Amino acid sequence: MMALSQMSREQLEQEKAQLEKRYHAFQSRGLKLDMSRGKPGNDQLDLSNGMLEVLTADDYKAENGLDCRNYGNSDGLPEMRKIFADLLEIDPDEVIVGGNSSLTMMFDNIASNMTHGVRDGKPWGRQGEVKFLCPVPGYDRHFAICEYFHIKMINVPLHSDGPDMDMVERLVSSDPLIKGIWCVPKYSNPDGVVYSDETVRRFAHLKPAADDFRIYWDNAYMIHHLGEEPAKILNLLTECEKAGNPNMPLIFTSFSKVSFSGAAVAAMAASKSNIDYIKKRLTVQAIGPDKLNQLRHVRFFKDANGVRAHMKKHAAILRPKFAAVLDKLDEELTPYSVATWEKPTGGYFVSVNVAEGTAKRVVQLCKEAGVVLTGAGATYPYGKDPLDRNIRLAPTYPPLEEVKEAIELFCICTKLAAVEKMLES
C-alpha cells in the first residue's frame, strides 16, 4: 500500500472501488454502534456496584458526628474534601465538594462572574464582549457554556505539550477583555495531551491585562491513567502561589468517571481566599450538597489510595479498547498517510485529524453504516473546525468487539473520504 498522495488517478479509482466494497459490506450488517460520548462502559460502572449498598440504615454519620441525612455543610463532608485534596495535592481548605457535576460548578462560576464579577469586581456582563481562549481541539461542553453566555471564543492551537503558550501570553497580556481560558491539563479532551512542566509554569506566570482573568483548569482526568506509569503534571495552584498569582486558577474535577457518571461527586479547588468568596454564593444558593452520597464515596474508597487502586481496575478494562483503536489506526491509516493522531496514555478519547475537508464526510459515512461518532466540528468553538479535519473517537462505552468493528469502519470511511476528495480535485 502506498501513500494516497502518490497514487495515480487510476490507482485512486481502484482503491475507491475496494473501499466502497468494504464499506457496503459493513452497511449491510445493520450495525447500531455509538462511539460519540465519553461515557464509561457498563463493566466500568460495575466496579462501583458495591457503593450501592455500602451504607446501612444505621450508618449515616460523618467522622465529626455530623448527621449526613440532615441539612448543612455547604462545602461538603470534611473526609470527602480530604480525599479530593490528597488527589489534587492541596489543602482541604482549598476544596469545595459539590453535587454530582463539575460542569455545573464551572457553569455556575461563570454565571456568577457574569452578574457579580470576579470577587465583586465589575460584572463580566457589563464589560462589553468578554472573551475566552479555547485551546483546540477541546471539550464541546466547555464551549457550550461560553456560547450560552455570549462569551466570544478565540481558538488557540494545542500542541503535544499544551496550548501554544506564546500565543496565550501575547493575547492574555494585551487584551483586558480576555477573561479566561479552558484547560484540560492532563489527558486532554480529546487529544489526550499532558501539559508539560514548562507549560504549567508559563500559565502560573501569566500577566493578564484583566485583573479578573481566570484559568479554568478542568482536571477531569487527573487519575485516569491507561498505562502503568501515571503522567504527572505540576500543581497549578502551588505554581500560581509561587508566581504571585494565587487567585488566578480555578481547578475542577469529579468522580464521574471514577464511580457512577450520573451519581458521583464533583469538586472545585482554588486559593483559600477564592474558596471563601465562592462559599458566600453557595450559602445563598443551597443549604448543602448531598452529604449521604459523599459518605457513600468515603465508605467505598476509604482514602485517596483506595481511589487510585480503583482506577487501576478501570485502566485494565480500557487498555484493550484503546489498543484496539490505536492498532487499527496504525494498521489501516499509517501506510496511507492521510491522518494523524496522538497516542493517549490516559483519558477517554482518541482524536484523529483526517484529511483536510473530510471530517464531516467521514462522520456522515460512519453514520450511514450504523456508527455514531461525535459530530465533526464539535471539538471546536461554535462547532466550526476551520480545516474540517478533527474527529473525536470515544471508545470507552461500547464493548471491545463493537469498538473493533467501529474503528475498522472509521478507518474505511477515513480513507474513502480522502480518496473521494482527491478524485474531486
Binding-site ranges for a second copy (CB under 8 A): 37, 39-40, 42, 45, 48-50, 52-53, 55-60, 67-73, 99-101, 103-104, 107-108, 111, 114-115, 123, 125, 141, 144-145, 148-149, 256, 260-263, 281, 284-293
Least distance (Å) between residue 223 CB and a second copy? 19
In the complex with a second copy, which residue's Cβ is closer, 56 or 425?
56
Least distance (Å) between residue 265 CB and a second copy? 10
| Strands across the sheet containing 95-97 | 95-97, 266-269, 249-254, 214-218, 178-183, 131-136, 152-159, 162-163
Least distance (Å) between residue 358 CB and a second copy? 29
In the complex with a second copy, which residue's Cβ is closer, 123 or 176?
123
Residue 350's identity, in one-letter code, is V
In the complex with a second copy, which residue's Cβ is closer, 59 or 63?
59
Cell numbers linked to 348: 477517554
In the complex with a second copy, which residue's Cβ is closer, 3 or 52?
52
Beta carbons of 164 and 156 less than 8 angstroms apart: yes
Measured between alpha carbons, how far is 377 from 106 in angstroms, rounded to an integer?
Answer: 22
Decide the pairing of beta strands 178-183 and 214-218: parallel
In the complex with a second copy, which residue's Cβ is closer, 263 or 422?
263
Least distance (Å) between residue 99 CB and a second copy? 5
HSE-CB at 229 with a 13 A cutoff on CA atoms is 1
Tally of CB atoms within 10 A around 267:
26
For residue 141, with 0-12 CB atoms within 10 Å meaning exposed, 13-18 middle and 19 or more buried, which class applies? middle
In the complex with a second copy, which residue's Cβ is closer, 102 or 199?
102
Least distance (Å) between residue 365 CB and a second copy? 27
Collect all residues with Cβ–Cβ distance below 8 Å to 388 and sequence separation of at least 6. Answer: 356, 357, 358, 359, 360, 376, 377
In the complex with a second copy, which residue's Cβ is closer, 220 or 403?
220
In the complex with a second copy, which residue's Cβ is closer, 199 or 293?
293
Measured between alpha carbons, how far is 141 from 175 in angstroms, rounded to an integer?
Answer: 25
Least distance (Å) between residue 341 CB and a second copy? 25
Measured between alpha carbons, how far is 225 from 304 in angstroms, rounded to an integer?
Answer: 15
Least distance (Å) between residue 307 CB and a second copy? 17
Least distance (Å) between residue 138 CB and a second copy? 16
In the complex with a second copy, which residue's Cβ is closer, 25 or 287?
287
Least distance (Å) between residue 74 CB and a second copy? 10
